[in-house]
Structures are given as C-alpha cells and as structure tokens.
C-alpha cells in the first residue's frame, strides 16, 4: 500500500478541493466513514483544471499461474505522465496516462531475468491508459490504448495488473464533510489471475492546508 499512498498524495495535492460542487455526490462504492474528525470539517472533492499534468511512479509485481506453472515475474518500475484532457459538466475529469519509461528489476523466485524482459518493457513505453476520474475519487472506464499496435499475449497479465493499479492512484473520498483526524475504510473486489480478491485500505486524514491533504493509509 505504500506506493498507492504516495500516488494518491501527489494527485490530491495537485487537485484537491475544499469547496463542494453544486449538488450532493454519491458515496463511492466500498467507502465507510469511521471517524469524521475534528472541526472545522470540509467536503473533500477532486477538482482538476483542464491541462493539469502530474508524474506518477509505480512498482508492479505480477505472478503468473497457468495450470500450476508460472511464478513471479521481474518487478516493473514505471514512470507515467497523467494529463487532464477534459472536465465534464458533472465535475468528472477525463484523464490520459502515458507510460514514458519502464525498467525491469530482478525479483527473487522468478525464472525470468530482468534482461529477458527488455523487449516487453520497450513495447510498454508509449502505451496510454484512458479513464474518467469522478469528483469523489473513483477512476472508472479505465482501458489501455495501444495506439493501433499489436501487443504480444505475454503482455496481457502485466497490462491487466497495471490497469487495476491505476484504479487506485486517486484516494476515494467520503460523502460527508471531514476534518483532521478523520478516517475511512475503502474496500474493493476484483478478479485477477482467475481469482476473486478483496483489498481493504484504511485512510487517516492528518491535516488540511488549503488544497493539500496529508494522510496515512494502511
């Protein structure tokens, strides 16, 4: 969860908003408020200006399980540039994330070396992920745009895991106003490598300074 926490902090610091948009927004699925925190409390929502750009770094571990064969693959470390292409009438933002740099690192237990992943890492450079970020922090309709390139089957697992990782670059926000000391639980269920998995993250709001939030996640 450490990488996710850093990514959320970067995005939210760039575009967090302490002023509620018109109308009441729904609570993101899986968000449960545990503690509203101290006064004064504010309704937290993402509001991103069109053209906003943010650099994101992710370390991705993928394990392949094919009829009892496979195992861990080398760790992929990616640098991406996220751009707000457009802001929709409901406050959602259409975001475009371009993978600008990828490097593989050897991982214990992997039968494949980082050097053997060179061809795949080269193919991943320039790939684009497109999606829509809702004001309450949910990234939906995320898909990979290969730009017309034909990708080898070996990239399928990595790209599937990558898409799920990018769904978590924004921190889901509670529907009601919160203040310093607030905490909330976020759970999500997804399918990966044929298995149904549920992840649970607890966020704690440490401080609010203008449009910047400081928080911890466990």
Kindly report, residue by residue over 110-129, the tens digit of the pLDDT. Answer: 888 999 888 888 888 888 99
DSSP line for the chain: -HHHHHHHHHHHHHHEESSPPSSPPPPPTTEEEEE--SSS-B--EE---TT-EEEEEEEE--EEEETTEEEE-PEEEEEEEEEEEEE-TTS-EEEEEEEEEEEEE--TT-SS-TGGGHHHHHHHTT-EEEEEE-TTS-EEEEEEE-TTPPPPGGGHHHHHHHHHHHTTSS----SS-B-TT-EEEEEEEEEETTEEEEEEEEEEEEEEETTEEEEEE-
pLDDT at 156: 64
Q: What is the pTM of this model?
A: 0.71
pLDDT at 190: 67
Q: What is the pLDDT of residues 38-61, one digit of tens each?
A: 999 999 999 899 999 999 888 878
Among residues 168, 115, 159, which one has the least CA distance to residue 1?
168
Q: What is the pLDDT of residues 51-104, one digit of tens each?
A: 999 998 888 787 766 555 567 888 889 899 999 999 999 999 999 999 999 999
Q: What is the pLDDT of residues 158-191, one digit of tens each?
A: 677 677 767 777 889 999 999 999 999 998 776 6
> How does residue 27 score in pLDDT terms, banded at 50, 70 and 90?
very low
Share of the chain above pLDDT 90, in %: 36
pLDDT at 202: 92
Decide if pLDDT at 5 tops 50: no
pLDDT at 25: 43
């Amino acid at each position: 969860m450490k990488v996710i926490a850093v990514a959320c902090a970067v995005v939210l610091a760039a575009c967090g908003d302490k002023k509620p948009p018109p109308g009441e927004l729904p609570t993101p699925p899986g968000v449960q408020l545990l503690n509203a925190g101290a006064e004064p409390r504010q309704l937290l929502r993402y509001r991103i200006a069109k053209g906003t750009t943010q650099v994101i770094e992710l370390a991705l571990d993928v394990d392949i399980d094919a009829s009892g064969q496979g195992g861990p693959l080398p760790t992929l470390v990616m640098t991406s540039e996220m751009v707000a292409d457009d802001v929709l009438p409901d406050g959602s933002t259409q975001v475009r994330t371009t993978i600008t740099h990828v490097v593989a690192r050897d991982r214990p237990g992997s039968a494949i070396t980082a050097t053997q992943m060179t061809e795949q890492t080269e193919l991943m450079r320039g790939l684009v992920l497109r999606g829509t970020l809702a004001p309450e922090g949910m990234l939906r309709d995320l898909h990979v745009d290969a730009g017309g390139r034909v990708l080898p089957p070996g990239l399928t697992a990595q790209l599937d895991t990558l898409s799920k990782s990018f769904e978590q670059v924004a921190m889901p926000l509670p529907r009601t106003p919160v203040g310093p000391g607030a905490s909330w639980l976020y759970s999500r269920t997804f399918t990966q490598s044929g298995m149904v998995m549920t992840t649970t993250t607890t966020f704690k709001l440490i401080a609010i300074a203008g449009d910047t939030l400081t928080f911890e996640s466990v």
